[in-house]
Amino acid sequence: MSSVTSPLSSPLPAASKTSRWRTPAGVLGLLSALLIALMLLSASSGALHIPLTELPGLLFSASGPDETLWRSVLIDVRLPRVLFAALAGAALALSGAAMQALFRNPLAEPGLIGISAGGALGAVGAIVLGGGSFLVLAPSAFVGSLVATVAAYHLGRRYPGMAGLLLAGVAINAICGALVGLFTYLADDNQLRSLTFWNMGSLAGASWPLLAGLAPWTLVVGALIARDWRAMNALLLGEREALHLGFPLKAVRRRLILLTALLVGPLVAATGAIGFVGLVVPHLVRLALGADHRWLLPTSVVAGAIALTLADWLARIAVIPAELPIGIVTSLVGGPFFLWLLAQRRH
Amino acid sequence: MKQRLALLLAAVAAFFTLSVSAAPAAPQRVVALGGPLTEIVYALGAGNRLIGVDQSSTYPEAARALPKVGYYRAFSLEGVVALKPDLVLASDQAGPPQALEQLRRLGLRVIVLPSAPTLDALEQRMHGVAAALGLRNDGRAMVIELRKQVDALAARQVGPTRALLLINRSGNPEGAGFDTSADAMLRLAGYRNVLAKQKGYKPLSLEGIAALKPDLIVTSTASLAASGGLDALLARPGIATTPAAQQRRVIVMDDLLLLGYGPRLPQALRELKAAPAVASR
Amino acid sequence: MLLAENLFIERQGKLVLDDVSLSLSAGEVVGVLGANGAGKSTLLAMLAGELAPQRGRVSVDGTPLDRLDNAHLARQRAVLPQSPSLSFNLGVCEVVAMGAYPFPELSTFDVEQLMIRALALADVSHLAGRRYPQLSGGEAQRVQFARVLVQVLAARQSRGGRFLLLDEPTASLDPKHQQALLACARQLARDERIGVLVILHDVNLAAAWCDRLALLAQGKLVGCGDPASVLTPATLAAVYGVEAEVIPHPRDSNRPLVLFN
């Protein structure tokens, strides 16, 4: 609401007494610049040393064997991965923000309605029963997350409010978890190791064809979610209040849940389980900017992209020439950071 | 003097033949993804050509000093590329799935070798690694030697000893059923796996173990450490009452030697067959 | 006109509303009185279109509510529910501006003007820069009041009557702000031709500011009309189950003053 509260155009007092960059638009701009810088940094560093001065030229042409290698690593390995990290982080954070609004609870995340558990079940089923090639695994994980979410929604909608959905989600999560356990028990040694790696999450599957499919999808579904920012704000007031402000609650709820599953499902399928971003990023943004979704959603998108780009960069450079699973990095770096931030707020 | 000259000449000749036969094709910068593959490269005397390995390559000692590109199931694509190898030897379990394909697209030579725990697959691994390194003849010799030793060992029957193979990764010992390299190893050594009816590694039902009464327990060094040492393992209820525990008939072997199905297979079989009457600590 | 006809609803074998009819016209303030559990809030929820009656019907300017969609209804009536439960970190202006959500055609400038007016009417202009969770209970209540004022003021856009439904809006206010809020509601009713329905517990406050009073007891309407004719010892005994004495107000003899014994 910066235009509404801007001191120049109205006699209303400014919402924020702090300097200009602390306004939502300022923060969003600053974070966007940070994201671009971080993506450049990430694209320019990795196990293979490419001289910084060569980078711009490499985007267009390469001469000589060294440059040919640099160019193909830069274009075919790093760039899709950096873009994929940003895309996945943005989508995870956006879906987290939407779920937190829908459940009116800052601890909500997409996993609450079975998206992650269903995806894991689909993936594990594919690994144990279907041989586990990526072509089987990804669609199976996506279908798993969608089925789990739709089941949670349908089972839970008979109860008033969000409690039914929450309870159904808990039950679906438990069932999926048990089935994953069962599959794990049935798995042989090789399958077990594949499962472990799927559970730790990975962006190593990034490629241009994958991005070509996922990026437009994610942008469209993300935009559809963001369009409901007014409804999310109204939901913060309360479910009755949202109804009084003209939002058809059941339709909004059904739409947001389905869109979230459509947004996160394919990502979970492509990357495995990457935790923490969806839960914490919207929370951090809310601490900094407040809960107005007009700013919370776009800022979470950018901050989520930053978080995962940063995590991926760390994962790639921490133990060169090997790399760490990204799910470990997000939790290992994000967890303490979050705790530190909470401790700061106390004072 | 003459002798020395002859030796020198022979050496020079050998150097030339070697370099002539190997120079054009033989790769000199090799990355191996999979412990058994690394072992084969060393066994072929080509360890100096390795410039990088995965984290499962723990034998021989020299391999531990090489740059690590991650675990072979989740190796770092760019990490491999950065080492600028002219050959990548990969287990068919190496991944992530698209990464091998991407290595090829970047123009790297990638040889994928079977990882199955069978003698046949081991021979294919040896042939494959040797051929890729331009050491076809050495590979052939290695396989012939392997067969000879395994056949000789197979001839020495150990009797129908009932054996239990324990693996411990997480604090709770698991027993090896069929479809595991451990089971394949036991059978190759001529033992009867008491858990032959279950599939894969499964948490032990202690009561079941007691009922199955194994005469011999085989385990790996790392598993024994995770179980808290030999005495702690043998004192576990269910295991304590088995003939194996009471007579302390336990074989402990290095993990990669026991389960890797590498070129040290004959050595592994030998150690397995030398079932101790009473295990030392 | 917002019209409820013969509303009937039963929950778990208990009659919550039994044959209740009530009208709310433009420009009038109607107070709803009743003991706890008498069905006041249920009546308000039905008038708001939030809850459908099992029998009977509610209509706005002749159109039954079940034929109006939510978005449409929100352009004609605003509701202030009891004890709002916002715990998220929103600014006061952000909360108040939500009142304009049903009117996407309004420009930012229009919304600002409405907000300035609503903040002043609810006496919360000085809170505009604050965060909602930091407000006291009374301040929060007045901010929520400002939000529904924005909604009902913006509703001037739409054709037809405008209605403001308030569920115990004075519950956590001090006497000064109780008076101010009801004065504001009545002024709006007069100036803007808004129909205001307000649930109250303070009988004398209701008598002072409402044009008509509706008295509910166990789901039944036991009286409906101007305060002087409705507030009698008999109806008060039926509604609250306590003895009461009704005397003319010492300052305004047209107005009754209720003294509970």
Q: For residue C213, list its beta bridge partners.
A: C31, C225
pLDDT at C13: 86
pLDDT, mean of residues C51-56: 92
| Out of A99-113, B114-128, B158-172, C18-32, least confident range | B158-172
Query: Left, alpha or beta for A45 (phi > 0: left; psi -120 to 50: alpha)?
Result: beta
Helix residue ranges per DSSP H, chain C: 40-47, 70-74, 92-97, 108-121, 137-154, 175-192, 203-209, 227-230, 233-240
Q: Express as a percent the part of chain B with pLDDT over 90.
A: 43
Give the CATH number, domain containing residue C163: 3.40.50.300
pLDDT at B158: 65
| pTM for the full predicted model | 0.84
pLDDT at B6: 54
pLDDT at position B20 over 50: no
Q: What total number of domains does chain B contain?
A: 2
3-state secondary structure A124-192: HHHHHHHCCCHHHHHHHHHHHHHHHHHHHHHHHCCCCCCHHHHHHHHHHHHHHHHHHHHHHHHCCHHHH
Hey, are the CB atoms on C94 and A290 less than 8 Å from each other?
yes
What are the contacts of C12-21 at 24+ separation with CB within 8 A? C15/C218, C15/C219, C16/C42, C16/C219, C17/C42, C17/C43, C17/C46, C17/C53, C17/C219, C18/C218, C18/C219, C18/C220, C19/C56, C19/C220, C19/C221, C20/C56, C20/C216, C20/C219, C20/C220, C20/C221, C21/C56, C21/C221
Residue where a domain stops, chosen among C129, C157, C185 = C157
Mean pLDDT per 10-residue section of chain A, whose length is 347 residues: 40 47 85 96 88 82 82 89 95 95 86 88 86 76 91 84 85 92 82 76 84 94 96 92 93 92 89 84 90 95 96 89 84 83 68
Chain C residues closer than 8 Å to A287 by CB:
89
Give SS3 for B218.
Answer: strand
Distance CA A95, CA A304 (A): 10
Per the CB < 8 A criterion, the answer to whether A16 and A23 are in contact is: yes
Identify whether B277 is part of a domain: no
Q: Which of A202, A320, A326, A329 to mutate to test the interface with B (most CBs of B within 10 A)?
A: A320
Residue of B19 and C51 predicted with greater confidence:
C51
Judge if C90 and C210 occupy the same domain. Answer: no
Q: How far, in whole angstroms, is CA A164 from its chain's centroid?
A: 25
Identify whether B8 is part of a domain: no
Distance CA B109, CA B83 (A): 13
Please, which residues 103-132 of chain A have a Cβ atom closer than 8 Å to chain C?
A: 104, 106
Please, which residues 43-62 of chain C have a Cβ atom closer than 8 Å to chain A?
A: 48, 50
Name the band, by pLDDT with cuts 50, 70 and 90, for residue B8: low
- What are the pLDDT digits (tens) for B47-61? 999 999 999 898 899
Judge if C25 and C90 occupy the same domain. Answer: no
Identify whether B16 is part of a domain: no
Question: Residue B132 is part of which domain span?
Answer: 30-153
pLDDT, mean of residues C187-209: 94
Q: Which domains are seen in chain A, by residue range?
A: 72-334 (1.10.3470.10)
Q: Is A72 buried (19+), middle (13-18) or exposed (0-12) by CB count in 10 A? A: middle
Is B177 an interface residue toward A (CB < 8 Å)?
no
- What are the pLDDT digits (tens) for C12-36? 888 899 999 999 999 999 999 999 9
pLDDT at position B200 over 90: no
- What are the pLDDT digits (tens) for A228-269? 999 999 999 988 999 999 999 889 999 999 999 999 988 888
Residue where a domain stops, chosen among B130, B153, B176 = B153
pLDDT at position C208 over 90: yes
| Out of A149-153, B157-161, B166-170, B276-280, least confident range | B276-280
* Interface confidence: ipTM more than 0.90: yes
pLDDT at C84: 66
Q: Which of C41, C95, C112 to mutate to test the interface with A (most CBs of A within 10 A)?
A: C112
Question: Residue C118 is part of which domain span?
Answer: 84-157
Residue where a domain stops, chosen among C126, C142, C157 = C157
Please, which residues 184-243 of chain C have a Cβ atom closer than 8 Å to chain A?
A: none
Q: How many residues does chain C have?
A: 261
pLDDT at position C92 over 50: yes
Residue of B101 and A215 predicted with greater confidence:
A215
For residue A301, the distance in angstroms to the closest alpha carbon of chain C comes to: 19
Please state whether at least 3 CB pairs lie below 8 Å between chains B and A: yes
Cα→Cα distances C157→C100, C151, C197, C247, Å: 11, 11, 21, 44
Judge if C60 and C171 occupy the same domain. Answer: yes
Judge if B256 and B171 occupy the same domain. Answer: yes
- What are the pLDDT digits (tens) for B225-269? 888 889 888 888 888 889 999 888 999 999 889 988 899 999 999
pLDDT at B276: 57
Is A18 an interface residue toward C (CB < 8 Å)?
no
